[in-house]
Amino acid sequence: MPLNKLRPKSLNDSSVSSISESTYADDPVDTDDLDENDESGQNILLNIISQLKPGCDLSRITLPTFILEKKSMLERITNQLQFPDLVLDAHQEKDELQRFVKVVKWYLAGWHIAPKAVKKPLNPVLGEHFTCYWDLPNKQQAYYISEQTSHHPPESAYFYMIPESSIRVDGVCIPKSKFLGNSTAAMMAGLTVLQFLDMMNSNGKPEKYTLSQPNMYARGILFGKMRLELGDHMIIKGPKYKIDIEFKTKGFISGTYDAIAGVVKDLNGKEYYEITGKWNDIMYIKDLRDKHSKKIVLFDAHKSKVSKPSVRPLEEQGEFESRRLWKKVTDALAARDHEVATDEKFKIENYQRELAKKRVQDGVEFYPKLFRRAKPGEDLDYYIYKHIPEGNDYEEQIKSILEIAPILPGQHFTEKFAIPAFKKSEIQEKELSQTP
């Protein structure tokens, strides 16, 4: 296997636990799965809500810590990437229609990965970044890099790649929070772009899929049991096929929770498959071209095998890496010590306000270190700044990815890391233009 020297052995169970070990080691319970009945927290929440009007933006409101997940949004995004076997299977599929169906299956698979209780991920601070990797069963590695590129509105940019399988994912996540009375909503703007780099269309461009996100609703904020629902529409488009999947929210009188429905069509509107079921249970597929066809299981969330990413040890991480940045907060959340969690969270956010104030005083604009602004004609607001070599020189591709930011254990930050992404991109473009 090439690049063995860049491939450390996977962290064993004991080393993983030592990395994430809480200072409150006597708490074995995963508090992300607990519905909190914190009276002081509820009072804080009610006080906040009393100041709001339905439809107003929640992005500038500090929510009580008892509803926070022990994970930054930059890390939460990796939930969508925890079924690499499914995207690898889609890439290997030769039939275009079946390949599209398998891409849909891969993207639908990750939505059920969430705390059992209603928990909101931590809002990343400006410039926060998170990296991780996967050791895959096929002896390959997958790499993930993300950064908070904007704070108001909050925007998270991310990059994922399995170089040796020519699979690349770019995306931006822009949750726009709203208060709706007894509910809050996260209206999920942004896109995910999946590319199979070794499959070219007639224009010589890689096969591309664009994937939107359903919106998220936290019900029962004021009364009733708090519950998470996905709602509205997810649209997936490929070179020849598309699907509009409706995530159905339960009505006041009728309906059911968590149901989805969508039809795979070609770009002329011809129907091929119907997808139904529940996004957090069992999803089914039925061939609409055969009137005798019966629905079969597309994906069973109860039998699925999640592939969690590996993360560098905490002591190797920089001050703005998610797990190190939020460690005191997440330790306190793990112990259900919401007073300490609130204090530590305030310190981080207040420091960010001071940095923002200083930038204004100095006339300095913030620039991301890892993601550049999009060029005309591109699908997303931000892309990873570095040009990843094309073709099948996987060693060079992996080398390029690992030069962007530390991902694997033992990697170190370089002086180039602090240079704004747009400048690093300009330098590389100049170098590429001078290459014969």
Q: DSSP letters along 231-290, please?
A: EEEEEEE-SSEEEEEEEEPPPSSS--SSEEEEEEEETT--EEEEEEEETTSEEEEEETT-
Give the type of residue at 127: G
- C-alpha distances out from residue 409 to 42, 134, 310, 402, Å: 41, 12, 9, 11
Q: What is the pLDDT of residue 410?
A: 97
Copy the structure tokens of residue 21: 């070990």
How distant is the alpha carbon of residue 119 from its chain centre? 15
Q: What is the pLDDT of residue 48?
A: 57
Residues counted in the chain: 436
Give the type of residue at 428: Q
Pairing mode, if any, of strands 296-300 and 371-373?
A: unpaired
In order along its 436 residues, the chain shows pLDDT tens digits of 434 334 443 333 333 333 333 344 444 567 776 665 544 445 555 655 565 666 655 555 556 677 889 999 999 999 999 999 999 999 999 999 999 999 999 999 999 998 888 888 999 999 999 999 999 999 999 999 999 999 888 999 999 999 999 999 999 999 988 877 778 888 899 999 999 999 998 888 999 999 999 999 988 877 778 888 999 999 999 999 999 999 999 876 667 899 999 999 999 999 999 999 999 999 999 999 999 999 999 999 999 999 999 999 999 999 999 999 999 999 999 998 989 999 999 999 999 999 999 999 999 999 999 999 999 999 999 999 999 998 899 999 999 999 999 999 999 999 999 999 999 999 999 888 877 6
Q: What is the dihedral of CA 426, 430, 432, 436, to 10 degrees?
A: 180
Whole-model pTM? 0.88
DSSP class of residue 57 equals B
Q: What is the pLDDT of residue 126?
A: 96
Cβ contact 366:173 at 8 Å:
no
DSSP class of residue 80 equals G
Q: What is the pLDDT of residue 364?
A: 93
Helix (H, G, I), strand (E, B) or coil at 56: coil
- CA–CA gap between residue 280 and residue 247 (Å, rounded): 11
Cα Rg, the chain, nearest whole Å: 22
DSSP class of residue 3 equals T
Q: What is the pLDDT of residue 57?
A: 58
